[in-house]
Structure 1
Amino acid sequence: MNPFEDMRIFCQVMDSGSFTAAADQLGLSKQFVSRRLMQLEARLGVRLLNRSTRRLDVTPLGQTYYESAMRLLNDVEHMEQGIAGQTSEPRGTLRVSAPLSFAMAHLGCLLPLFLQRYSGVTVEVDLSDRPVDLLSEGYDLALRIGVLEDSTLIARRIASIERVYCASPAYLAERGTPLKPQDLHEHDCLPYGHGRQVQWRFEGQGKPLTINVSGRMRVNNGEVLRDAAVAGLGVTYLPTFIVGSALESGQLIRVLDDYRCAPLALSAVYPQHRQRSLPVQALIEFLRERLDQVPGGV
């Protein structure tokens, strides 16, 4: 096996965090991956990784080798794409992770248009609200909503997502309309997620405010909460891409608009080694272009 393949194996082990995960991504056996890295270390005459039964720790020389290898592999990939005539036409398979509700609202209609524009690209999409590990699970790109955790991933903002507080006309007629956040203590709320205590954040008169909310139903799915609010079970707080049609039809009514927080960011995040990937960059630019044209915002 040539040195470039050894570099790729080592970089995949670093990105994945284990021999097993790297072997899965490369389609190789764990024993083969381990043996190739031992031979790489023997050829270089240095130790790149400290191995234990529970974890892998990179040595200082291993970190230096990884950073140099990644730059070299990226340059080789970029050069090969240019030789293959891909500088103007993205090709290859994209593995994408996206939030379920957002994907149902937007990606179902946008991805076919993207594939029509770029005939050389194939997409594999995993719909899940869990924060996937792009490196160890082999994703090229993930769409994430909200504040991003600090990481080595590259993030690009795609769009802003507005959230609104809303309830059904029947519920408001029976229970009254909350005029300030503190009024929610007297209301049934429909919060997203699980946990013994859920908090909603508000912005009013330049001051942030946090309110503990409770109700008879908590779900980690926005569509179910929207339907519960339409049925009159309480006040909910959801993105407009979930409740927009219900607001337009009058099934739900906005409340506490003067206290809404700033919109959330929809971001595309991807590993550093995918920075020059033409399919990744093409999808990001396509989504920014199309989502910017959505009437009323995302």
Structure 2
Amino acid sequence: MDLLSLLPVFIRVAQTGSFTRTADSLGLSRPVVTRSIQSLEKELGVRLFYRSTRSVTLTAEGRELLDQAEDLMLRTRRLVESLHRSPGEPLKGRIRISSSGIIAWAFLQQIVTDFLAENPGVSIELITADRDMNIPGEGIDLAFKVGDRLKADVIARRIGVVRNILCASPSYFRGRPVPGEPDDLRDHVALVNLYLGERFRLTNSKGETRIIEMKGRYLSSNSLLIFNACLHGAGIAMLPYEFALPYMARGELLQVLPDWEADKYGFYALYYDTSLSRPARRFLEKVTGVLQTVGGRVYDIRVRAKDRLVGSGKIE
């Protein structure tokens, strides 16, 4: 075996932590996997894994190789795709896309459906995860993320914006006082979205600012769970304005502290390098084109498509 042919086996062992699971997933025998890793270690002159009867873990040299090998495999795949397709040919191939569950549900799913209808030769794997993905390590072509906490090892292109407000259901305020100032929030139940964080800066129309800590007993990184808990009266949550707007219009949610808003978050497209495959590049162009029609307001897509709004839903 040559060096390049051994790298996919090495990457899979690193991902699974098991020679047996690697053999099963690649359709190889376990001895072939073992010999492949031994040959790679001999070729490089370093030990790549610590082996025990229960686990297989990377050495420091193994971790360094994994970073480089994942990068090489990703670049190789994209090079092959670009060489096999001329610009005028119909798009073909598979795109792996990741986002939080709420972004996939409220924004991406319609774009994915439309893109697939327009490009019959393309398939899309939409992965929903309320965490930061290892883009090269997990083979992600494009990731979409709300928030300004970004990793330095990926390209982050700001393509939209999310406006954030505090909301609660009317049932939550039965028997409770309505907050009049940000400091009043300490006497209320907070629903904490760990994906966005617990610390927010609020600003009012006069330019005054307050820093609040959303401390609560219900914490989740899943935005949909936080939203659903808020809708059912479990507490006060920070929600995207356009997403909450239809529910406020129907009186199902109320805006808390209507004179105060949190900082706007950027909405980013993330990818590992500029050599995106043609299908991934075209999908990103479609997403940015859709956002341009609504001034970059991510959740405004769902509002315009699904609802006709009347009223403000604010607590006066």
- Is the aligned partner of 1:280 residue 2:288? no
Across the aligned residues of Structure 1 and Structure 2, the Cα RMSD in angstroms comes to 4.1
The structure carrying a bigger helix percent of its residues is 1
Over residues 56-115 of structure 1, what are the superposed CA-to-partner deviations in whole Å (9 max), with x where a residue is unaligned? 23549x75x975995697367425533443676442112223211221112221111111
Moved more, 168-177 or 233-242: 168-177
Residues 99-178 of structure 1 aligned to structure 2 (within 5 Å): 99-150=100-151, 152-168=153-169, 175-178=176-179
Partner Cα separation in structure 1 for residue 164 and residue 155 of structure 2? 25
- Does 2:20 align with 1:5? no
Q: Secondary structure at the match of 2:239?
A: strand
Shift of 1:228: 4.7
Cα distance change of structure 1 residues 250 and 210 upon mapping to structure 2, 3 Å threshold: same
Letter in 2 for 1:120: G
TM-score normalised over the length of structure 2: 0.69
C-alpha change, 1:130 and 1:36, in structure 2 (3 Å) is same
Moved more, 253-262 or 115-124: 253-262
Query: 1:260, CA displacement in angstroms?
Result: 2.2
Structure 1 residue 120, shift from structure 2 partner: 1.9
Within 5 A, what are the aligned runs for 1:15-94? 16=15, 20=19, 28=28, 31-40=31-40, 42=42, 44=43, 46-47=44-45, 49-53=47-51, 54-57=56-59, 59=61, 67=68, 70=71, 74=75, 77-78=78-79, 81-85=82-86, 89-94=90-95
Query: What amino acid sits opposite 1:283 in the alignment?
Result: F
Deviations 1:1-28 (A, max 9, x none): 5654345555x35984857587677555
138-147 or 278-287, larger mean C-alpha shift: 138-147
Given the two structures, how large is their TM-score scaled by the length of structure 1?
A: 0.73
Name the stretch that deviates more: 157-166 or 202-211: 202-211
Name the structure 1 match of 2:186: 185
* Superposed counterparts of 1:212-231, under 5 Å: 212-214=214-216, 221-231=222-232
How big is the shift at 1:231?
A: 4.8
**Count of aligned pairs:** 288
User: Any gaps of 5 or more consecutive residues in structure 1?
Assistant: none
**Contact 1:81–1:87 (CA under 8 A) maintained in structure 2:** no
Matches within 5 A, 1:213-252: 213-214=215-216, 221-240=222-241, 242-252=243-253
Distance 1:106 1:201, change over 3 A: same
Residue matched to 2:303? none
> In 1, Cα distance between the equivalents of 2:29 and 2:143?
27
CA distance in 2, matches of 1:262, 1:223: 20
Alpha carbons of 1:219 and 1:69: their partners in 2 closer, same or farther (altered >3 Å)? closer
